[in-house]
Structure formats: structure tokens, C-alpha cells
């Protein structure tokens, strides 16, 4: 990916960090977007991608600095878990705005230069929650399912310009959220996973990097579950 320019949203978390690092190792220049926690990187850029202004500023920064944008990884996401009967409207809106609307806003901004260049890769980070659903996560599951629909629709819109749009759907991967799960609950969850373990951020990043590469040029509109066989 030498000479390519990539933007990774939500790049201060474990998965975003692993993805940005993997793309850099492949030769790409990577803009690491963050909202609150700044990554230790020269190309870090603060923006709230749940707003049109933030998304446009992020994409505009990449274009201004390097004159192009080849890869967008929509990884930014938050959780506000609660049973549906107790979930506030604010918590619903916050998750949908960041996880789904943010991906749309960034993709809309990124597609303009990609379509002009007749080359581009967009990879949306969905979740098995968007495939299976998850109790206590009606907002998160809805947003991640929405990302799958967004992926498939955009893929059909831009395929003729050599721009691909795919999604990955990670299963249980170590994160701040996973760390907060009680040990007994973790074991019950892992018993449902045929491989009997969590994934790693690096394993998910490897799949994202493949979908962002030249070799994946004939793959579009797909959702790759990285879940140890769970789904």
C-alpha cells in the first residue's frame, strides 16, 4: 500500500490502533482520528465524526495534507447499554449518531475524491451484534445492522468506479468493554464460540487490511464475520 493514504476513525481504541498500525506496516500513510483520547502519532486528528462538520474536517485534512484519500476505515463506535424498556432516547441517539450516522458522513465525504480517482476502499466495522442481536444493546445492534445495509447499498452505487465497500463483523475481542464483563459471564460467552477463545485486535486488523488492499479489488458488498465460528 505504498503511496496510499488511509483514514481510520476511532483510532485510539485497541482495534483502531491495530488497524492503523497494520496499514502503516503495509506502507500507507494513516490519519488516526480520535474524539477524546489522542493517539501517540504525528498524523492524529481530532474530530467528532457524528457531525457533518467533524467528518468533513477529517477527510479534508487528509486531502489537504497529502492530496488524496484511498482508504477509509469506519471504526468509531460507542456503547450505551441498557434493556430496551430502560433505554433513554439520548442513549439511543448517541449510539446511532456515532456508530451509523458517523460512518455515513465520513463515507459521503470520502467518496468524492475516491470516485474522481477511480480507486478507493471503504471498510465498515460492524459487529456480530448486528447479525445476531444482543440483549441490552438494542441501540448498538441496530447501528451495527444498519452498517451492513449501508455497506451493501454503497457498494452497488460506486462499484463501477473501482471503489469497493465491505464490512467486517468482529465477535468477542478484548477491549475496555470486554474487560468489564464478569469472569463467569466471560466463560459462558466463550462456551458459545466454537474456537473457545476471544479474537485479537490484530486478527481483525489483518482482515480489514486485506479488504483495503489491491488484492481485494473484486470483493465488494460483503460482510466478513471474524468471530471464531460463532455466527
The catalytic residues are 140
| H or E stretch covering 73 | strand 71-74
Query: CB burial class (10 A; 0-12, 13-18, 19+) of residue 82?
Result: middle
Query: CB burial class (10 A; 0-12, 13-18, 19+) of residue 147?
Result: buried
Query: What is the three-class DSSP state of 2?
Result: coil
User: Minimal CA–CA distance to 217: which of 143, 142, 118?
Assistant: 118
Provide the Cα torsion 123, 129, 132, 138; round to 10°.
Answer: -130
Under DSSP, the state recorded for 38 is -
Amino acid at each position: 500500500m505504498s503511496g496510499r493514504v488511509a483514514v481510520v476513525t476511532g483510532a485510539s481504541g485497541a482495534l483502531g490502533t491495530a488497524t492503523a498500525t497494520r496499514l502503516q506496516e503495509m506502507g500507507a500513510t494513516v490519519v488516526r482520528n480520535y474524539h477524546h483520547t489522542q493517539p501517540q502519532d504525528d498524523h492524529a486528528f481530532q474530530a467528532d465524526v457524528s457531525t457533518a462538520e467533524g467528518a468533513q474536517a477529517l477527510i479534508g485534512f487528509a486531502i489537504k495534507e497529502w492530496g488524496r484519500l484511498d482508504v477509509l476505515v469506519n471504526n468509531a463506535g460507542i456503547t450505551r447499554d441498557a434493556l430496551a424498556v430502560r433505554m433513554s432516547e439520548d442513549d439511543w441517539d448517541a449510539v446511532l449518531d456515532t456508530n451509523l450516522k458517523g460512518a455515513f458522513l465520513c463515507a459521503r465525504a470520502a467518496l468524492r475524491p475516491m470516485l474522481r480517482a477511480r480507486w478507493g476502499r471503504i471498510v465498515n466495522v460492524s459487529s456480530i451484534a448486528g447479525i445476531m442481536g444482543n440483549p441490552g444493546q438494542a441501540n448498538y445492534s441496530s447501528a451495527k445492522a444498519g452498517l451492513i445495509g449501508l455497506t451493501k447499498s454503497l457498494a452497488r452505487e460506486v462499484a463501477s468506479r473501482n471503489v469497493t465497500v465491505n464490512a467486517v463483523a468482529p465477535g468477542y475481542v478484548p477491549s475496555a468493554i470486554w474487560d468489564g464483563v464478569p469472569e463467569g459471564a466471560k466463560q459462558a460467552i466463550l462456551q458459545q464460540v466454537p474456537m473457545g477463545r476471544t479474537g485479537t485486535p490484530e486478527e481483525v486488523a489483518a482482515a480489514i487490511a486485506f479488504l483495503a488492499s489491491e488484492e481485494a479489488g473484486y470483493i465488494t458488498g460483503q460482510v466478513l464475520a471474524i468471530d471464531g465460528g460463532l455466527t
